[in-house]
A and B are shown apart, each in its own frame.
Chain A
Amino acid sequence: MDVDRFQYLILMGLCLLITLPLEFLFGARVWRRPRRLAAALGIPLVIFVVWDLIAIARDHWDYNPQYVTGWELPFDLPVEELTFFLVIPVCGLLTLEAVRNVLNRD
């Protein structure tokens, strides 16, 4: 099997892995508040997926078939892009909450 096809997905997996200590060693408590997390992720997910779909349709950017799985969701959205819009905001929230906890301020 060609590992290169999973490069984008593996990169997203590494982002989750490298930020995991923020939750459990730096007391971020993002993963442990799933309802609040869902409330924060939902609207940006919809907005940025729509932006992504328009950008793909209007040829602002495209994905290198060499480094993506080719698994596509409705409207030809690469599964990697959905992953991106879930993983990256979570990493941002983990950073914010870890900083809050370490600095012990709002």
Chain B
Amino acid sequence: MEYTWPAIVSVLVVIAIELFWLKTGLFRKVTFYVSWAIILFFMVLVDGWLTKLSAPIVLYNPAENSGIRFPWDIPVEDYLFGFALITLTMLLWDRAGRGEPDDGSSRRTRILLIRRR
């Protein structure tokens, strides 16, 4: 199960990177969870197409994953892989945007900007 374990570890590493290093606060924000609800829906559509066993684009070695595929034929490991990829990108995006006046990282900044108008 050489896909399963790295997939689990990748999620834990991304969470650790946020909690102990980047500290963007993204995991405490409602927008993160609303965004992920939307992303998950589209992830199922796109990954469902990539992995469908009737005409697969990606072929998985059954010896290297858990064999649990849901819904349709999506290997559950793909959700962990996708979470790690997209969440790490979001964290680095927020990190890179620190200090930008319009980075959305501070409500206070936005209120000040609105007042200025």
Write the residues of chain A forming the contact surface with B, with a CB cutoff of 8 angstroms.
7-8, 11, 15, 18, 29, 33, 36-37, 39-41, 43-44, 47-48, 51, 55, 58-64, 66-68, 85, 88-89, 91-93, 95-97, 99-101, 103-106
Is B107 a contact partner of A67 (Cβ separation < 8 A)?
Answer: no
Is A95 a contact partner of B39 (Cβ separation < 8 A)?
Answer: yes
Give chain A nearest CB distance to B54 CB in angstroms.
12
Is A61 a contact partner of B3 (Cβ separation < 8 A)?
Answer: yes
Q: Which secondary structure characterizes the binding site on chain A? A: helix
B8 within 8 A of A: no
Give bound CA distance, A105 to B104, whole Å.
7
Is B59 a contact partner of A95 (Cβ separation < 8 A)?
Answer: no
CB < 8 Å neighbour of A85 from B25, B29, B85, B97: B85
A99 and B57 in contact, given A60-B3, A61-B3 (Cβ under 8 angstroms): no
Q: How large is the interface on B (under 10, 10 to 19, 20 to 34, 35 or more residues)?
A: 35 or more
**Given A18-B42, A97-B104, 13 extra CB contacts under 8 A:** A11-B49, A36-B93, A39-B92, A39-B96, A44-B89, A64-B58, A67-B57, A93-B93, A95-B35, A96-B31, A96-B90, A105-B30, A106-B25
Is B30 a contact partner of A63 (Cβ separation < 8 A)?
Answer: no
Within 8 A of A (CB), among B31-89: 31-32, 34-35, 38-39, 42, 46, 49-50, 55-61, 64-65, 82, 85-86, 88-89
Which residues of A are found within 8 Å of B107, using beta-carbon distances?
105-106
Which residues of B are found within 8 Å of A61, using beta-carbon distances?
3, 58-61, 64
Sorted from nearest, which 3 A-B pairs have the closest CB atoms? A92-B86, A40-B93, A39-B96
Is B86 a contact partner of A88 (Cβ separation < 8 A)?
Answer: yes
Q: Which chain A residue has the least Cβ–Cβ distance from B38?
A: A95
Is A64 a contact partner of B89 (Cβ separation < 8 A)?
Answer: no
Contact with A along B90-117 (1 / 0, CB 8 A): 1011001100101011110010000000
Give bound CA distance, A22 to B77, whole Å.
28
A36 and B60 in contact, given A89-B85, A89-B86 (Cβ under 8 angstroms): no
